Amino acid sequence: MPSLPPHVDTAAFGRDFRWSAATAAFQIEGARTADGRGRSIWDDFVDRPGAVLDGATGEPGPDSWNRWQEDVSLLATLGVDRYRFSTSWTRVQPGGRGSAAGAALDRYSRMVDALLAAGIDPFVTLYHWDLPSELEATGGWLQRDTAFRLAEYAQLVVDALGDRVRHWYTINEPVSTSLQGYAIGELAPARQLLFGALPTIHHQLLAHGLAQRVVRDAAAGEVGIVNNHTTVLPASGDPGDLAAAAAYDLLHNRLFADPVLRGEYPDAGAFGFPELPVEDGDLALIGARSDFYGVNFYNPTRVGAAPEGSPIPFELLPVDGAPTTGFGWPIVPGALTELLVRLRDDYRDALPPLIIGENGASFPEPDEADHVLDDRPRIDYLAAHIDAVGAAIRDGADVREYTVWSLLDNFEWAHGFSQRFGIVHVDQRTSVRTPKASFAWYRDLIAAARG
């Protein structure tokens, strides 16, 4: 059994600190046609030849729609305080409009009850990228109406689960949807609009504000958004590189954080970005104080001046000398400390308590496992980043929770089953689950942190 690396200082985390694990519906549920589920933009994406690296569709994968009891048992063994999972919009409201599908809500309700019986708080993400295809066909997040459709869906979920679920994320990583989904086409819905995608930022943040109001009106507990943030590293001290880094920081970080935390967008005109479609009252709704601010973090981003003729004002570059994950992402744990302290310094009293909503790493691993995999690189990654959170706490950042991504090896979007983030190995053909060494390590860390 792996021992705790000496650089993890559990004393930095008080007894009230929460430890969590996360998944997302499309990535683990499988059963694409079960219980009247409708089509999402990810169904459309995986059905496009060549869109997914290994041709995977998510089936069967972990098959958690049918095997959710196994997931609850794993979580109980792990000893987490909370389990972050998402409800599927296309299961609850198959076409993105109208009444709820009772079978889907009953399934989620039974899982919520099982989690609570195991002493685990359910932490629901209302939107984790599975936009109904029918809404995308009318413009998706480019259309203001989609924000109101999400609020309607949120109401259905809160009505069904809000008497027991007391922790809610409204939207996961709007930056990924906007930049990778609508701007450059790496993720669903695979549009390539470049800066024409920017209205999707505002419409997602408006959806957050509307969904947050739904939770608040129902007195259903704590609510906030979770975004992927990165520490931006200028390639050099050259003015061109510094300007490029500032542009990227605004696009990736501040366009999402400022309106939620300050109730205003930063001035993007200096970088040539188009104005966002803000209407009266929008920013008051978006900027209504949340109970927490969720931060997903995987790696920093090194940025330099764009080559001549580039349609965007920056270029993304490797981080020299940094080891990398299976995705090729640079491993720089100190960048997480820097990010958390910067959020504290930049937003001060406007910043609610922070939650690490996702953190983890993929490394090459076999498709099949008949024994416990010794995934030491993942343990080292997690240990270093948890230590980085502890360093930020000691420096005054108010971080209340850490969430490992992911509980299970899952469908990793455009990379299919070729990347594995789980602390539990999943044979994606048989759905058999085998905890890895990192599972036991995280279990022991949680126990040590509690004293």
pLDDT band at 5 (very low <50, low <70, confident <90, very high): low
Q: What angle do CA 339, 286, 233 make, to 5 degrees?
A: 20
Please give the single-letter amino acid code of residue 135: L
Question: Distance (Å, rounded) from C-alpha 340 to C-alpha 252?
Answer: 15
What are the start-end ranges of the E strands in 145-300?
167-172, 222-228, 232-234, 293-296
Please report the pLDDT score of residue 269 as a whole number: 82
Assess contact for 56 and 420: CB atoms under 8 A.
no
Assess contact for 387 and 8: CB atoms under 8 A.
yes
Assess contact for 5 and 383: CB atoms under 8 A.
yes
Strand partners, 227: 295
Cβ neighbours of residue 191 closer than 8 Å, sequence gap 6 or more: 181, 182, 183, 185, 197
DSSP 387-441: HHHHHHHHTT--EEEEEEE-SB----GGGTTS----SEEE-TTT--EEE-HHHHH
Assess contact for 68 and 62: CB atoms under 8 A.
no
370 three-state secondary structure: coil
pTM > 0.85: yes
Assess contact for 414 and 48: CB atoms under 8 A.
no
In the chain, what percentage of residues exceed pLDDT 70? 98
For residue 98, give both structure tokens. 């109208």
Tell me the mean pLDDT in the region 45-52: 97
Question: Which of 227, 232, 221, 231 has the alpha carbon at shortest distance from 258?
Answer: 227
What phi and psi, each to the nearest 5 degrees, are found at residue 292? -160, 170
Q: What is the pLDDT of residues 223-277, one digit of tens each?
A: 999 999 999 999 999 999 999 999 999 999 999 999 999 999 999 888 889 999 9
Please report the pLDDT score of residue 4 as a whole number: 54
Q: What is the pLDDT of residues 293-342, one digit of tens each?
A: 999 999 999 999 999 999 999 999 999 999 999 999 999 999 999 999 99
pLDDT of residue 405 exceeding 50, the answer is: yes
pLDDT of residue 442 exceeding 70, the answer is: yes
Half-sphere exposure of 166 (CA within 13 A, CB side): 8
Assess contact for 246 and 268: CB atoms under 8 A.
no
Assess contact for 258 and 278: CB atoms under 8 A.
no
Question: Distance (Å, rounded) from C-alpha 151 to C-alpha 213?
Answer: 9
| Residue 334, burial from CB neighbour count under 10 angstroms (0-12, 13-18, 19+) | middle
Question: Distance (Å, rounded) from C-alpha 5 to C-alpha 423?
Answer: 17
Please report the pLDDT score of residue 2 as a whole number: 45
Q: What is the pLDDT of residues 54-86, one digit of tens each?
A: 999 999 999 999 999 999 999 999 999 999 999
Q: What is the pLDDT of residues 336-359, one digit of tens each?
A: 999 999 999 999 999 999 999 999
Cis check: omega of the bond before 239, within 30 degrees of 0: no
Q: Domains of the chain by range and CATH?
A: 10-450 (3.20.20.80)
Cα dihedral sign, 315-318-324-327 = positive
For residue 438, give both structure tokens. 């990192």
Please report the pLDDT score of residue 7 as a whole number: 65
Active site residues: 173, 358
Tell me the mean pLDDT in the region 102-118: 97
pLDDT of residue 1 exceeding 50, the answer is: no
Question: Distance (Å, rounded) from C-alpha 56 to C-alpha 197?
Answer: 27
pLDDT band at 8 (very low <50, low <70, confident <90, very high): confident
Please report the pLDDT score of residue 272 as a whole number: 84
